[in-house]
Structures are given as C-alpha cells and as structure tokens.
Structure 1
Amino acid sequence: MTPVIAIVGRPNVGKSTLFNALTKTRDALVYDMPGVTRDRQYAQASYDEHHYILIDTGGISDGDAGVDGSMAEQSILAIEEADLVYFVVDAQAGKTVADDYIASLLRSRGKPSVLVVNKIDGLQEDGAMAEFYEYGFEHIYPIAASHRRGINSLLEETLLPLCESEADDEKDSSNATSEANQRGIKFALIGRPNVGKSTLTNRMLGEDRVVVYDMPGTTIDSVYIPFSRNDKDYTIIDTAGIRKRGKIKEVLEKFSIVKTLQAIKDANVVIALIDAKEGLTDQDLHLIGFALSAGRSLVIAVNKWDGMSLSDKNYLKDEINRRMVFLKDYVDIHFISALYGSNVGHLFKSIEDAFKSANKRISTPDLTQVLKLATEDHPPPVSGKSRIKPKYAHMGGHNPPVIVIHGNQVDKLSGSYKRYLEKFFREAFEFVGTPIKFEFKSSINPYQQDKKTNTTPLKRYKEEKGSRTKSVRKNNQQRSRQAKQVNKTNKTK
C-alpha cells in the first residue's frame, strides 16, 4: 500500500510550507497569518522513486470552538487516516500550550509520529531543539521548510522505512502513478461567499470532508478531492467565495481569489452556485462569464431552494431566464438543496454530458457538411464587391471545442452571422454545457496588391523563388570550381 503521511501542528508553524516543499508545488496557500489552511488537502508526492500520499491540515489548538473546532476535527481525521504523522513545531516561537496539547493528543491516539522542528534558520540547532526533547519523541528532525533545509534527511529516515520490499515498491509506484493520472473529471464549485459550496462538497462526497460554518470566508484555499461514484472517477475542487472587487481589502483574500481563478482554469467542468434566497446578482454573472471566457464547461446550480415560497421560486426562475437568456438554451440549470441533498444527484449527469461535449471529436467531412447546410440555409453577407464564401471546416482543439473555418474573406463575417453559425453547429452536434470557439482563416488572393509594398503575394513568391534558385546555382558553381581545383592539384602531383 502507498504510505500516507499527515502534517499536523498548531496554526502558523509552517505546515503548508512543508507540504509545498515535499510535493514540489504551490498547491497549499501560504501566508503569514494563523488559520490559512482550514481543510485537509491531499497530494501525491515521491522521493527517491518511492511514492506516498501527503495530507496538509489546519491548525490544532486547545479548547477550539466554532470554525477552529471544525478545523481541529479535520486534523484529527487526517491523523486517523495516516500511517505516520509529522508533528511540526516552531523553533523560533518555542514550546507553547498548544504544542503540549497536540503532543498529548498524539500519544493518546498511539499513531506513529515524529517531531519536526521548523524555522531553525538563523538559530543553533541544538539550542533550538533542546526544550522539545521533554515531549519524549524518539525522533526529532530540525528543518527550515522555506529553504528546504533538512527535508532530504527527514524523508530518508521516516519515509523509506515505511516502504515495503523493492518488488512491492515498484508495484505501489505503478499504482500511485495510475492514481495520479486517472483523476477522472475535474469539476470546480464556484460562487459568492457562503453560497453553500463546502456543504455541496460534503453532500457529494457523503462525508464531512471540508469545514462548513455559517460564516462567509470559511474556505480560503482551493481544495482538490479525488473520489469515485458509480465506478466513475471524479475530482471535486472546493474553492473560496469571490466577493465584489470593492469589498476585497485583505491581501489574503486576494490570494484566495487567485487560487479560485486558477482552479477554474484547471477544471474540466465548472458548477456555478447561486444563492436562491439572495437571488441572481451581478457578481454571479461575472463569475459565470469568467468561466465561459476560460473555455470551461458550465453547469448552474441554484442552492438553498428548500423553504422558499412558490411565488419567490417563480420570480427567481423568471429572473434567471431573463438575465441568462444567452445560456438557458445549452446550459443545464438545477434547483437544489445541498443541505438536504435534493436534486444533487442530477448534477453528475449534467457534469458527464458537459464533459463529453467539451471533448467531442468530429470529422472534417461532417463539419464541412454542416457548414454547407448553414450557408445554404442563410447565405453569408456581401463584403465589398464579392460575397463571403466559407469553404470547409475542421476541429482545431478540444475542451473547449475549437472549430476552424476556412474560406474567402471569412474574417470579415459579422458578429451576428458568427452567432448564427455557433447556434447552427451547437444544434447539429448537440453541444451541451460547453462554449464553442471559432477561428476564421481567409484564403490569400495571389493577385491582390498590397498597398504598403505595391506587390502581390504571387509576385513575392516568384521573387523569393528566383532568389533561392540563384543562391543554389551560385553554390553549385562554387563547389564545381573547388572540385576542378582539387583535380588539377592531384594531376600536378
């Protein structure tokens, strides 16, 4: 089995910095403020061809309450899942009451643990570690996670003993690589703060996997969680809520927004959550617009649908149809209750359909045939003295689908005609939940004169061809003279 290592400690001791150093990524959000990490985050990592699973956790403090209590519960769950625990303390701050509490907690759980003394940069190692020996841990490792000092020694002495024989290691390595590559469909939950993203995450997973608290901003970092449902693999990405730009004041919140936007670009499908009780806002539309601009497939979920009166429901439906008229024809809209699970299961069908549409592969003859039918049904307009003539189309990419159309003057097509083509192709090939991007490439007229150079493409081509011919002829003549000179020299000898 692949070893599992959990990183625990009180807030702001450098757990996420160590997580990033071990995974060689920046997946965990790092900021000089306690409580940045609130959910447990998983990652595949490897050292010396040995693969393992790493868990980053929120801080644990004695007497936690509210959201801090939920963070501590997540950390305790991570301890239960792990084969080994890295108990991280701060050498510069010294031993604290919270450290005492965590040490006693680990002893009571009986989980194999090692003490990791972080932030030793600028300190004498022996002096910095002295006060921590009274915890009674058999192994203590001094490190500076931000500078990667001591990381290799830590892994060599703690990870390698966890690994089995070399034959089993190779098998686990293969399985770990397969798990890392086969993550299934990645879908991100986006929305304003306190709209119910973490509640929906827990509902989909069937467990209290992320912290849920009735307070905006509970989720700070984007959390990637692989799981399986009905023998299908998925990765759900719980993101931080995004408020209006004018209300964002703290630097940490700006970092959270960057992580959310990165998660949108990293996902295959985006589920945009709307709070039914607050209604559709401009911020919801901005987030949806960003997801579509990034080329992500989209599913819309209107949460907190339970408990609303019939008149309020009808008003909200009319408002959504009015303000999202550009989406309702191809994006699935679900009215759900993440708290009670109403209609949550239907989201997976829409996720599957949107993902298949985004990765649909269509042959060039089929695309060209549909293009021909579209132009026959509604001919393109005239540009200048001649009519625009689309000739053929082919696929130029996937996720989102990119359709490349070639022809005469196709780059001069109006916006309305481009929207007509998009609707025609969408209906013909049943694209659901995904935007379609078009590229228009006009054929070059060899006899059209360039106003700047006073030449035509055909004339430039002949000049370049003549220049290349002269160059080749000159090189051949030079080689011939050199050969004659060599023969003459040989005969003289």
Structure 2
Amino acid sequence: MGLPVVALVGRPNVGKSTLFNVLTRSRDALVADYPGLTRDRRYGRAQLGERRFLVVDTGGMVEMADGIDEMSMRQVDAALQEADVILFLVDARAGLNVSDQYFSERLRRMGKPLVVVANKVDGLRSDVVTADFHGLGLGEPLPIAAAHGSGMEALQSRLDELLPRADAEAEASGPPGIRIAVVGRPNVGKSTLVNRILGEQRVVVFDQPGTTRDSIDVPFEKDGKAYVLIDTAGLRRRARVSEVIEKFSAIKALKAVEQAEVVIYLVDASEGVTDQDANLLGLVVEMGRGLLIALNKWDGLTGDQRERVRRQIDVKLPFIDFAEKHFISALHGTGVGHLLEAVDLIHRSVVAAFPTSLLTRLLQEFQADHQPPLVRGRRIRLKVAHMGGHNPPTIVIHGNQTDELPGAYRRYLMNAFRAALDLQSVPVRLDFRSSLNPFKGRKNELTERQVRSRRRMMRHVKKKR
C-alpha cells in the first residue's frame, strides 16, 4: 500500500496484540491473558501524531518450534522480512529472559532498525525494570504500558527517527475492495481455501480444529480488482463452546460476517451437511449477506456420496435455495478459480439500485399474476415500491392492510423480485408499510355531532309549536 511497515515481535504474552490495538485505535486483535493466542499475521493502519504506517501483529516467538508453532514462526519470519522497523517487545515485569537474548541475536543479524520495547511497566519504576534489557545491546529500551496507552509519545519520537516517509497518496488511501468472509465449522478447510485463493501461505494451516482463533483481514488484488479476504475461526454449537477464547473467537467471526459484503460458507463434503451448518447459514441469511456455498473436499467423494450430499442440501437447507453452490477442493485447487468470478456477480446484486418506477411496475405485475388475499371482505392493495437500502437489497412497499399480508405471499413477492431483478445469491428484504386512513376514528365523532345537531333541531321545532 506504499506505507512503511512496523512489525511487532516477541515472546508469547508480552502484549503485542494489545499494542497493535493501541496503535490502530481499534479492537481488531483478539487480546486475552493466554499465551500463544495470536498465530497469523494481522495488518492494521496506524497513526502516531502525523505519521501513518502499517503495523503487523505476529504470534509469539518460540525457540524449538514444531507443529503449529513452526507454522506460526513462519508467519513471524514473513513479517520480519517486509518490515521497515522492528519493535521487539519484552515483558518488564518478568525481566530479562533467555529467549529474549536468543531472539535479540537473531534480530540483530537482520540489520534492520530495531527498538526494544519494555511493556507492562505500569506501577513500576521504569528505570529499574528496564535496566536488565540494556544487556541485549540493542540500544535504550523504551518503557511503555500498552494496556493503559502510556509511553506512546516516546514511541512516536523513536519511530519518527526510523521510519521512511510515505507518499501522500498512500497515506490518504484506505484498504479498498469487496469484503469476503470465509465462514464454516472448525477444520473444514477455511484457511487452506484462503491460502489457495491468495496463492501463498498467508495464514496458518494445521490439521487441528481451532487453529484459527482470530479473524484475519487480507487485502489483495486479482485481475485489477481489489478484495479483502477474511479468514475466520470455526464456529461450533453454542453448547460445545466452553473456553473463553473460543467464545471471543466466535464473536469475532460473527462480526466479520456482519462487516462483509459476501460470505463464502465452506462445508466439508466428506462429512456431509450437518445441523450446525444449517444453524450457521441461518445466521448468515438473517444478517442479509450475499452468500456462496462452497462444498470442499468434493474430489475425494464417490458418485453415491456426492448424490447423498446433494440430497442433504435439498432437505436441510431449503431456505438457501437462492445461493450459488460450488464444488471445490481447497487443497488441490479444483473449482477455486471460479469463486472470485461468482463473488463479483454477487457483489453487483448486493449494491444494486433500482428506480421507483421499475419496482412499482413490477409490483403491479406481480399482483396481476397473483392477487393478494381478501381480509375481512377487503382486498389487500400494494401500491408503490422503492429502494430502502443495500447489503442486503431492501425494497419498501406501501399499501393498505400490509400487516395482514400472509407469509406465503411475502415469500412470493421476495422470490419474484429476486428473479425479475436478477439478484444472484443474495437475500431480498421487503419492508411493508401501511398507508394511514385519514377517516379512521372519525366515524363515531361525526355520528355524535349529527345526534347533537338533530337534538337542537327538535328543540327548535318544539319551541315554534
């Protein structure tokens, strides 16, 4: 994006994600008193004073990394390679650690601008708790308390000295693109699909449920078009979610769906369509996001298994009959190349706008083909339709007695508008509003007035007699 890059590195649980949230003035990074919470690289736009830059949050550095820790360390190495300045965070309360000395030697050999940041100095004498870190030989340690936002002025001064200047265009621009959230149950291949679309090992992939704990935004371009791909944590049934970390991960995943324009819902075809898939898809439809169903691991199924999965979709997911289905293999890349093409088409439907004249004409045609029912001897009349919003497309319909309109007729109109307007893979919301009757409530008042007038007339006639 043309902005200088600052990488936050250090041992697990030294406060990297907390500092990331302070610098980006957000709560994007998941923070908890739990070592090894962050595993993937997370980017954010930061600003200290007038200086703007990209900040990269990374997983904790470990010496003898294997398994999932090895995958996380590869993410750290990638962040270090692209960084212009490295902030090496240490825990001031824990003091100098053997691992700190080991990693300081490794960082020194990179030859990049490096700042030792001693975090968690709140309530302590900073000159005392940072004394040991002079032994790292990396210059004056910078004391901060990221949780309270203290020490940011000194950090700003240090970064002003070290960071290269960004061009004005890069500073003014924000992360553009269609926001695509990849959602599904744990261990269905979401991170593998994200890496396959990007063409690189951008997020950690490991054969273990719960590998992804936070929602990771990845801006990228394909064929001159900008996108933001969001890898989310796997969502399980609420009764099975016991760890606090998993609860926060689920909240972040649902927030990612809410902020997305298109959702790619990934189903493990080898396990079939589960009740949890139906529940999660219900949430996506309720939020009104454009929806694309990707059935992963399709290449490993027999003909009978594929037919069984198709039947399950018809039986368990009748409410998403409007959504496109793609049969893919995220691991081998089969069918993945067409996903972004489908996303482009869905996004056009998400942001589409239509004139009132067209919507009203269609509404009248739909009523002519299939009239609304009678209510207490009166026909429901729908008169005018106009756009009420986007993402999802919302059509406002004015008429009389709309509160009495049955659900079956509402669904008829919804499907009719979707087909007539060629809205692909997106739920359509209809907002019905009843016209006010100017004479409602005046009948009794007029009758009483007439009675009083008649009584006066009768008294007048009697007097004359």
Q: TM-score, structure 1 length as denominator? A: 0.88
Paired residues for 1:58-97 under 5 Å? 58-97=59-98
Paired with 2:401 and 2:384, the residues of 1 have a C-alpha distance of: 13
Within the candidate set 217, 227, 230, 1:234 is matched to 227
CA 1:383/1:160 → structure 2, altered by over 3 Å: closer, same or farther? farther
Say whether residues 1:174 and 2:174 are aligned partners.
no
- Gaps spanning 5+ residues in structure 1: where? 460-493
Determine the C-alpha separation between the residues in 1 that align with 2:432 and 2:362.
Answer: 16
What is the CA distance between 1:107 and its match in structure 2? 1.5
Q: Which amino acid counterpart does residue 305 of structure 1 have in structure 2?
A: W
Alpha-carbon distance between aligned partners in 2 of 1:343 and 1:455, rounded to the nearest angstrom: 70
Equivalents in 2 of 1:306, 1:86: separation in Å? 45
Give 2:351's aligned residue. Answer: 359
Q: How far off is 1:364 after superposition?
A: 0.3
Deviations 1:382-430 (A, max 9, x none): 1113110101100010110110011111221100000010111111101
Secondary structure of the 1:404 match is strand
Alignment partner, residue 411 of structure 2: 419
Aligned AA (1:245): R
- Tell me which residue corresponds to 2:240: 247
Mapping of residues 192-211 of structure 1, within 5 Å: 192-211=185-204
Alignment match, 2:8 = 7
Cα distance, 1:152–1:384 mapped onto 2, change above 3 Å: same
Name the amino acid aligned to 1:368: T
Q: Which amino acid aligns with 1:136?
A: G
The equivalent residue for 1:264 is: 257
Aligned to 2:457: none
How far, CA to CA, are the matches of 1:118 and 1:438 in structure 2?
52
Match of 1:98 in 2: 99
Structure 2 residue 133 is matched with structure 1 residue 132: yes
Query: Residue 299 of structure 2 aligns to a residue in which SS?
Result: coil
Q: Is 1:118 aligned to residue 119 of structure 2?
A: yes
Structure 2 residue identity aligned to 1:64: A
Partner of 1:404: 396
How many angstroms does 1:38 deviate by? 0.5
2:435 is equivalent to residue 434 of structure 1? no
8 Å CA contact 1:50, 1:173 repeated in 2: no
Amino acid of the structure 2 residue aligned with 1:203 = R
Displacement of 1:153: 1.1
The TM-score with structure 2 as length reference comes to: 0.93
- Count of paired positions: 446
| C-alpha distance in structure 1 between counterparts of 2:49 and 2:134, whole Å | 30
1:368, 1:393 within 8 Å by CA — same for their partners in 2?
yes
User: Hey, what's the Cα distance between the residues in 1 that align with 2:356 and 2:289?
Assistant: 23
Q: What is the root-mean-square deviation in Å for CA atoms of aligned residues?
A: 1.5
Opposite residue 360 of structure 1, the aligned amino acid is: A
Structure 1 runs of 4+ with >4 Å offset: none
Identity %: 48
The offset of 1:295, in angstroms, is: 1.1
1:225 aligns with 218
Which amino acid is the alignment partner of residue 155 of structure 1? Q
Deviation at 1:95, TM superposition (A): 1.4
- Partner amino acid, structure 2, of 1:75: V
8 Å contact kept, 1:79–1:111? no
Give the structure 2 partner of residue 46 of structure 1. 47
Structure 2 SS opposite 1:375:
helix
Counterpart in the other structure of 1:290: 283
Contact 1:335 1:343 in 2 (8 A): yes
Equivalents in 1 of 2:29, 2:359: separation in Å?
Answer: 43
